[in-house]
């Protein structure tokens, strides 16, 4: 029986930021996650990649404590996830109702609600923290805009500011770059890099393997299990990719290089990506369109 108004957990500074031990999540008879174990240290930036349905959202949900694992344990700074309000999350933009009557300032202030506590109103300190967060992401001048009146990149920055105002130590980002143009993506990446230097730990779910390999120091390849976890060169090999993507992925031995075709899907709306593994000039990278195999959707 969870407490109605839980106490907030105290951090053990010596413990790793995030540690999962043999975590399994089962929905009915199917496993969404199976025996997942890994450790993420303070300031790490981990891109979580894998085919659709690999368990990326489930992984995020057990880390935030929304979903209880059927087996195994999750430790955030040494204790279970339930009491922590230091886990920030940046939702996919299509999950948000942008007509909601809230300004940029209001939205970022929502990140403070856990800290403020029940039956209290935001004080001067909270407002100052919100203002600071807005300045950090370069959105201060938009504070009084309604959130629907922003561009996609600006909206994403507002949600980063919300996590900053929350004083999140562990940040979960769901497809943060999807659907943004190159300058907006760069703006987000700059903010993430700055946060990393400040010791904020990040897990970034993405379906774009190229982007993950280019931009993030650590890759977690997920398909129900952790198939590989490490720097891109070690984590993304033909072997691990085949294991992760299986039938979704085709290895083609072209004349100049081995070609891996993956289907990338779906909610993000990014085109499928073809990637050259091995030698071969970049300009020659052919982009093949591979349609995803028919899937049964069930919730």
Partner 1 sequence: MDALNWLIEPLSYGFMWRALLAAIMVGVICSVIGTYVILQGMAFFGDALAHIILPGIVLAFLLGWPLAVGALIAGVLAAVGIGALSQRGELREDTAIGIIFAGSFALGVAMLSTVDSYAVDLSHILFGDVLGASVSDLWITFGLGLLVLLTVLAFYKEFMVLAFDPTLAKVLRLPATFLRYLLLVLVAVTIVVSLQTVGVALVLAMLVTPAAAAQLLTRRLWTMMAVAAFIGAFSNVVGLYLSFYINIASGPAMVLVATGVFVLVFLFAPERGLLWRAGRDRREEKVAG
- How far is residue 280 from each of residues 118, 156, 211, 234, 277, measured CA to CA in Å? 59, 35, 19, 19, 8
Residues 12, 86: contact at Cβ < 8 Å? no
Q: Which is nearer to partner 1, 107 or 262 (CB)?
A: 107
CA dist., res. 152 & res. 187, Å (int): 12
Considering only residues 182 through 241, tell me which ones interact with partner 1, judged by CB under 8 A: none
Q: CB of 273: closest distance to partner 1 in angstroms?
A: 28
Task: Give the Cα separation of 37 and 249 in Å (integer).
Answer: 25
Stretch that binds partner 1, among 1-9, 12-20, 240-248, 251-259 (CB under 8 A): 1-9
Q: Which residue has the tokens 């407002």?
A: 127
Choice between 39 and 57, CB closer to partner 1: 57
154 is a site residue for partner 1 (CB under 8 A): no
Instruction: Establish if 83 lies at the interface with partner 1 (CB under 8 A).
Output: yes
For the residues of 181-204, what is the DSSP string, one character each?
-HHHHHHHHHHHHHHHHTT-EEEE
Residues 6+ apart with CB under 8 A from 113: none
Beta strand pairing call for 71-76 and 18-27:
antiparallel
The residue range among 48-56, 107-115, 127-135, 247-255 that interacts with partner 1, by the rule CB under 8 A, is 107-115
Size of site (CB under 8 A) for partner 1: 37
Q: Is 5 in the site for partner 1 (CB under 8 A)?
A: yes
Residues of this chain that bind partner 1 (CB under 8 A):
4-6, 8, 64-66, 82-85, 87-89, 91, 95-97, 99-103, 106-107, 110-111, 113-114, 116, 118-119, 121-122, 146, 162, 166
């Amino acid at each position: 029986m969870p407490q109605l108004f839980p106490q907030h957990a105290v951090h053990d500074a010596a413990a790793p930021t995030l540690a999962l031990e043999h975590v399994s999540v089962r929905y009915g008879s199917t496993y969404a996650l199976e025996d997942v174990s890994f450790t993420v240290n303070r300031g790490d930036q981990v891109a979580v990649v894998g085919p659709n349905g690999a368990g990326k959202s489930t992984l995020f949900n057990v880390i935030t404590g929304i979903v209880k694992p059927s087996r195994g344990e999750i430790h955030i700074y040494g204790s279970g996830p339930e009491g922590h309000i230091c886990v920030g999350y940046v939702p996919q933009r299509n999950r948000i109702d942008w007509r909601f009557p809230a300004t940029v300032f209001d939205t970022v202030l929502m990140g403070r609600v856990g800290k403020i506590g029940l039956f209290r109103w935001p004080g001067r300190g909270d407002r100052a923290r919100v203002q600071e967060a807005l300045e950090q992401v370069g959105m201060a001048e938009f504070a009084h805009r309604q959130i629907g009146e922003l561009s996609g990149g600006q909206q994403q920055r507002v949600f980063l500011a919300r996590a900053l105002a929350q004083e999140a130590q562990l940040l979960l980002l769901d497809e943060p770059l999807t659907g943004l143009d190159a300058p907006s993506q760069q703006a987000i990446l700059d903010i993430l890099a700055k946060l990393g230097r400040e010791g904020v730990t990040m897990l970034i779910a993405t379906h774009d393997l190229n982007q993950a390999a280019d931009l993030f120091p650590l890759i977690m390849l997920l398909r129900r299990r952790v198939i590989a976890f490490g720097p891109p060169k070690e984590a993304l090999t033909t072997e691990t990719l085949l294991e992760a993507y299986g039938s979704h992925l085709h290895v083609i031995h072209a004349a100049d290089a081995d070609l891996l075709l993956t289907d990338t899907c779906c909610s993000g709306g990014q085109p499928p990506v073809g990637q050259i593994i091995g030698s071969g000039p970049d300009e020659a990278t052919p982009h093949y369109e591979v349609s995803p195999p028919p899937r049964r959707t069930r919730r």
